[in-house]
Structure 1
Amino acid sequence: MEGPIVSTLEHLHAVLRMHQIGIVNLLRPDRLLKAAGNNAKLGPQAALTEKAATEHPNAPALTDERGTWTYRQFFERSNALAHALRKVDLPPKSVIGVLARDHRGLALAITGTARAGLRLAMLNTGLAKSQLAEVIKRENVRFLMYDSEFADVVTEIPDDIPRYLSWADDDYQRPAGLLTVEELTAAEPITVPLPVPEKPGGFIILTSGTTGLPKGAPRTKVSPLASALIADRIDFPRQGTAVFASPLFHSTGFGAWTVGLSLANHAVLLRRFGAENILAAIAEHRAHMLVAVPTMLNRILALGPDVIAKYDTSSLKTVFLAGSALAPELSTRFQDVFGDVLYNVYGSTEVAVASVAKPAELRKSPGTVGKPPVTVHVALYDSEDRKITAVGEKGRIFVRTGIPFEGYTDGRHKQVIDGHMATGDQGHFDADGLLYIDGRDDDMIISGGENVYPQEVENLLAERADVMDAAVIGVDDADFGTRLRAFIVASEDSARDPQEIREFVRAGLARYKVPRDVIFVDELPRNATGKLLRRELPTGPV
């Protein structure tokens, strides 16, 4: 009985945390029951939008470069899109695809498809033509919305798939007959309710695709406790403002935005990344939160103190950070400038949030990803599937959460041990119970018989003032089997001396971790969520 009792206590704790944070109000059980019922049939995004429109109709819901919508306006337009989608006469739970950056069109696609009882596939804006066509076919997409800037990318999509523009740039020359989502919904009723679906259509989030074609990770039914899992260890505003630089089509932005809906927050959506634009948005909207990826922090700091000082960012209390590894040096340097505001989130599309490092934890132990939130358990296992409990001992990271993974849309699944699912990462715990990520299982390099995780070398290189970004991979070597190759994005004042780089690494790490090749590049290949695409780095002779 211990398992069920523990689970029940955890769920009660999660509900209490949701009440404390402001996600639910246990003193208003009528609203709680209605919201829970809507969540079970519509999914969280549509249900929470309706709840906010009822309780805070005139509060700002979202702002993009074309203005601001209140929650009432957002809900009414979502309802209109749902009416339009119902008229397309698609079978229940048909898959709608959306290829869009962060703006009102994407937010409408997420909530409108849910209200219509359809499933939404959020497509990665970094996909090539052939990749997009393959994903569209694999996920059986029946209807497509896309931004005009991706008009060339969608040219290999079958002609029998209806398509509309989720966003049209002002200078875009539209082909005859191609309508925008606004035009599609213009004649639809905004207040006439639709029948509530019996079951939610759900959504599909694509994995990062760092090792190949992104896999589809479906979520049909999301636990009402999911918001607690995300917000437990993070300081979210309550009817405040969050600036989104991280894309909503991926787990980081999507999860943070969903929690924000539950708190009736104002989402400021940035279509394209610009370091100074982020600071300007924080200052203009007095934002409490920024949702970003680590590489963006480097770009912001690279603006220099004079540019940063132009913007009043004193309202900023939380930087919700996820998507790729946060170098210890970057963590400290950013908090030295902006205060103790960083929340380093570790997770994945499959497991959601596994752990969160709070600002004080990052001050004390830069590089940590912190501790698991409520209802989450993290365990380490060795190569023989035996549990590791020793402090400092590295192992494979497995996570058990209250948001069970449904398996990929191609039928594959992750390894599961004792109810914990593999993340594909290696890590260890320190004496305080803080988790550290040592590297990806498939990134490990065996050079001269020694195991090397690139992240350790990359973190050391990031400590140099003249290194803006760094990546380390393994390449074939006649003597050692594999040797290390470092790619470095250097600052303008860098000497760009490969031998100096090698000596720097040799002074801080074991000899076998020193890169034999050092290559200076203008930028590293990263996807929209900031993850390094190692497969795109050249491995041939230099």
Structure 2
Amino acid sequence: MLKAASIVPGAMEHMSELFRKLAVLQRSGVFSMARPDEGLRALRAVRQLGPVAGAVQTSARRAPRDIALHDERGELTYQQLDLKSNALARALAARGVGCGTVIAALCRDHRGLVLTMLASGKLGARLLLMNTGFGGGQLADVARREGVRALVYDEEFTQLLAEVDGTVDRYLAWVDDDSAAATTDTEKLDELIASTADRPVPIPAKPGGFVLLTSGTTGSPKGAPRPKLSGLDSAQFLDRIPLRTGMRTYVAAPLFHGTGLSIFILSLALGSQVILRRRFDPESALRLIAERRCTTLVVVPTMLQRMVDLGADVLGRYDTSSLEVVFAAGSAISPDLGNRVLDTFGEVLYNFYGSTEVACLAVATPSDWRTAPGTAGRPPVGCRLALYDDAGQPITEPNVTGRIFGGSALAFQGYTDGRNKERIDGLLSSGDVGHFDERGLLFVDGRDDEMIVSGGENVFPAEVENLIAERPDVLEAAVIGVPDPDFGQRLKAFVVPAEGAQLAAADITDEVKAKLARYKAPRDVVFLAELPRNATGKLLRNKLADSG
């Protein structure tokens, strides 16, 4: 009896979560109780082909003529995407690509990358999404470690591939019309598709999958395979973010990163129109939102920063009232930036907190942000979130900083090289530290390894950075610890002034001393034109020490 009693609560909790997920999927339009057969067919397609190919195949069956994709070369319907990816899958299969083959994609955001995703899913291949900001040595190391058999790339990255093993098959995904590469012997995706039949492709014996890469800012990029999806797991993104069928989603964030990829996949599952551009420009983004009447914008925070920094005159030229969701992730959003985004675009900011390894941890809605600017929000359905102290004991009281751990069905099971993240109670370390407030809202205080110990006092840079960035004459700021003979470490601030601002170092140090403990005040201040960041907008603190 005791054993049965111990099982029932867990089973009941599992069933409750299942029904919550189904309710979320029904609300968004992914699953319809009126046509459960269609929903089950869609879930089966995802299990067999993966999230991208499964979603496109489902949407092509439901609404073949609906616009699926818009890039610099125009529009493609769901039916066209499905047929073209059939042809590409058949062409790659004829060249030896099949179940378990590792295909690497080094591409910006455009139809060539999307078709590669679809074809790899239909073949059961494993798609490795390469970061377009990596150097040639990093690319070669990753390709060798991951066992890459075929490489799909954009023409502009040709020189980066010099160190990649010559036995790796190569295919061009994007070639500028006036480029010399237009006449190269390297096979091009467009030519493969045009010369191959677009009949349906047999279901692979085993589904393939995606491998995302860590940023590589502290060493060689690590491969983080995404787990196979059940189809229900997308509920964790839809629970606190009001995406639904038929929206128009501009994915400005790169698709090789989890931020862009997750909402891209969801948009296809919802039968929405996805807008992609190979490069981001803040004013061009505003123009595109106005022209395409985009309802969703997917960005990393630096993109938002560049947009709102354009100023009222430029922002006022474009009608962005169609926006219902601004989905931001990839790095922290300062309270000042988040407030400016809400003031500019309305109550549309959804601050997503997660990692390559853990996937989703928490989401802050516009209401959460207005209540507590800077918050990362709460965990959605299917996600667990907890804080632990250095001894591994849970922290439950508010306003006590601890290490952030989380878990969900989308969390990875380990890096491709066999290493893993620390686990406690089945939850993965995010590598961050943070605290809950009295309402249960999460705040991320910083990276665990970024804590500065100055004169025996612990300082997390984010608090100081956010305070400095609140000044109207400052665009953004970063703080690091540098060696000090008396205090062990001292704080050094790097500040990007607003255009026309006349700032002195004392303005910054006096501001911090007036509002925070004196030991949190930077003793050195360096003014820069911009902060060093990688392709996803993540701050490269290791480069700041060389900036002056």
Relative to the length of structure 2, the TM-score reads 0.96
Say which SS state the counterpart of residue 149 (structure 2) adopts.
strand
2:460 aligns to what?
A: 453
What is the count of residue pairs matched by the alignment? 540
2 CA distance for matches of 1:337 and 1:36?
38
Give the one of 158, 170, 174 matched to 1:167: 174
Inter-CA distance 408–275: structure 2 relative to 1 (3 Å threshold): same
1:380 aligns to what?
A: 387
1:51 aligns to what?
A: 58
Say which SS state the counterpart of residue 33 (structure 1) adopts.
helix
- What aligned pairs does 1:3-402 form with structure 2 within 5 A after superposition? 3-90=10-97, 92-174=99-181, 176-190=184-198, 192-402=199-409
Deviation per residue, 1:135-167 (Å, 9 max, x gap): 111111110001111111111111111101111
Q: Say if 2:436 and 2:442, in contact at 8 Å, map to a contact too.
A: yes
The residue type equivalent to 2:191 in the other structure is E
2 CA distance for matches of 1:56 and 1:303?
39
Give the one of 430, 448, 454 matched to 1:423: 430
Say which SS state the counterpart of residue 256 (structure 2) adopts.
coil
The answer to which of 118-127 and 193-202 deviates more is 193-202
- Answer yes or no: is 1:439 the counterpart of 2:422: no
1:425, CA displacement in angstroms? 0.6
2 CA distance for matches of 1:95 and 1:347?
26
- Answer yes or no: is 1:509 the counterpart of 2:494: no
1 CA distance for matches of 2:178 and 2:505?
45
Q: Say if 1:237 and 1:289, in contact at 8 Å, map to a contact too.
A: no
2 CA distance for matches of 1:483 and 1:223?
49
Say which SS state the counterpart of residue 266 (structure 2) adopts.
helix
Deviation per residue, 1:382-434 (Å, 9 max, x gap): 00000000011111011021224121011111111111111011011111111
Deviation per residue, 1:467-512 (Å, 9 max, x gap): 1121111111111111111111111222131111111111111111
Q: Say if 1:318 and 1:341, in contact at 8 Å, map to a contact too.
A: yes
The answer to which of 170-179 and 214-223 deviates more is 170-179
2 CA distance for matches of 1:517 and 1:136?
41
The answer to which of 94-103 and 83-92 deviates more is 83-92
The residue type equivalent to 1:448 in the other structure is G
2 CA distance for matches of 1:443 and 1:170?
46
Q: Say if 2:376 and 2:441, in contact at 8 Å, map to a contact too.
A: yes
2 CA distance for matches of 1:513 and 1:356?
29
Deviation per residue, 1:107-139 (Å, 9 max, x gap): 111111110111000000000010111111111
The answer to which of 24-33 and 60-69 deviates more is 24-33
2 CA distance for matches of 1:4 and 1:125?
44
Say which SS state the counterpart of residue 159 (structure 1) adopts.
coil
1:3, CA displacement in angstroms? 2.4
The answer to which of 45-54 and 193-202 deviates more is 193-202
2 CA distance for matches of 1:17 and 1:418?
27
Q: Say if 1:210 and 1:532, in contact at 8 Å, map to a contact too.
A: no
Deviation per residue, 1:49-90 (Å, 9 max, x gap): 000011111111010111010111111111111111111123
Deviation per residue, 1:321-340 (Å, 9 max, x gap): 10000000111112112111
Give the one of 474, 485, 504 matched to 2:481: 474
1:526, CA displacement in angstroms? 1.1
Deviation per residue, 1:145-197 (Å, 9 max, x gap): 0111111111111111110111112332116311221112221112x111101
Q: Say if 1:357 and 1:370, in contact at 8 Å, map to a contact too.
A: yes
1:220, CA displacement in angstroms? 4.5
1:539, CA displacement in angstroms? 5.0
The residue type equivalent to 2:406 in the other structure is V
1 CA distance for matches of 2:328 and 2:89?
33
Q: Say if 1:447 and 1:480, in contact at 8 Å, map to a contact too.
A: yes
The residue type equivalent to 1:504 in the other structure is E
The residue type equivalent to 2:189 in the other structure is V
1 CA distance for matches of 2:295 and 2:216?
31
The residue type equivalent to 1:312 in the other structure is D
Q: Say if 2:465 and 2:477, in contact at 8 Å, map to a contact too.
A: yes
The answer to which of 193-202 and 274-283 deviates more is 193-202
2 CA distance for matches of 1:7 and 1:416?
22
Say which SS state the counterpart of residue 152 (structure 1) adopts.
helix
2 CA distance for matches of 1:516 and 1:525?
21
Say which SS state the counterpart of residue 320 (structure 1) adopts.
strand
Q: Say if 2:45 and 2:58, in contact at 8 Å, map to a contact too.
A: no
Give the one of 417, 421, 432 matched to 1:414: 421
Say which SS state the counterpart of residue 265 (structure 2) adopts.
helix
2 CA distance for matches of 1:462 and 1:433?
26
Say which SS state the counterpart of residue 385 (structure 1) adopts.
coil
1 CA distance for matches of 2:244 and 2:320?
15
2 CA distance for matches of 1:114 and 1:148?
24
2:469 aligns to what?
A: 462
Say which SS state the counterpart of residue 37 (structure 2) adopts.
helix
2 CA distance for matches of 1:152 and 1:466?
41
Question: 5+ unaligned residues in a row in structure 2: which ranges?
Answer: 1-6
What's the % identity of the aligned pairs?
49
Inter-CA distance 235–79: structure 2 relative to 1 (3 Å threshold): same
The residue type equivalent to 1:177 in the other structure is D
Say which SS state the counterpart of residue 65 (structure 2) adopts.
coil
1 CA distance for matches of 2:298 and 2:16?
31
1:525 aligns to what?
A: 532
Relative to the length of structure 1, the TM-score reads 0.98
1:237, CA displacement in angstroms? 4.0
Q: Say if 1:283 and 1:312, in contact at 8 Å, map to a contact too.
A: yes
Say which SS state the counterpart of residue 360 (structure 1) adopts.
helix
Say which SS state the counterpart of residue 151 (structure 1) adopts.
helix
